[in-house]
Structure 1
Amino acid sequence: MIKRKRRLNDVFFCVFLAWGTTPAYAYFASLIEYEQNIYLKSVKKSLNIVTHVNITIILLFVIIFISNMSKLVEIIYILNISFL
């Protein structure tokens, strides 16, 4: 059980290090359950914010793509008329 918890702590440390948070705080927060729960709640909140930002960016790109597609269709239509 201790080895498994230690391995999980190392996994949390690597994940938080890769994610760009303060690795020391992430590591010590994973050692103590109370701090771990608080930290994971804050990470979950920030992940929700990141998810909302990603969805907003994706929707923005979809809207830009659709608006450009309508312009592309107009250009193709004009070119077809000019070739007739």
Structure 2
Amino acid sequence: MTDTKQEPPKIEFPCPNYPIKAVGVNQGDFRAHVIEIVQIHVPDFDLTTVSVQDSRNGSFQSVRFRITAQGVDQLKALHEALIASDLVKMVI
């Protein structure tokens, strides 16, 4: 048997159209809350990339968007800021 570990794909920065999804409680204006956090970390954020989907029972909402990722530090900071929010439960 051979050990065939695959390396995860390398991301080259800047990386246009980097997809991110934030999932959280569907209360208030979750979309606006997520966008406010993203705009702090992504100054050139394009609002036209945002889409929103409610869960089957309407308890949760996912906000999907794409950014031009500038580097690992930016992605890490954005992820941490989203997760630190009381409304955001998961970031993919």
Q: Does TM, normalized by the shorter one, top 0.5?
A: no
Q: TM (normalized to structure 2)?
A: 0.30
**Bigger fraction of residues in strand:** 2
Q: TM (normalized to structure 1)?
A: 0.31
**Bigger fraction of residues in helix:** 1
* The structure with more radius of gyration: 1
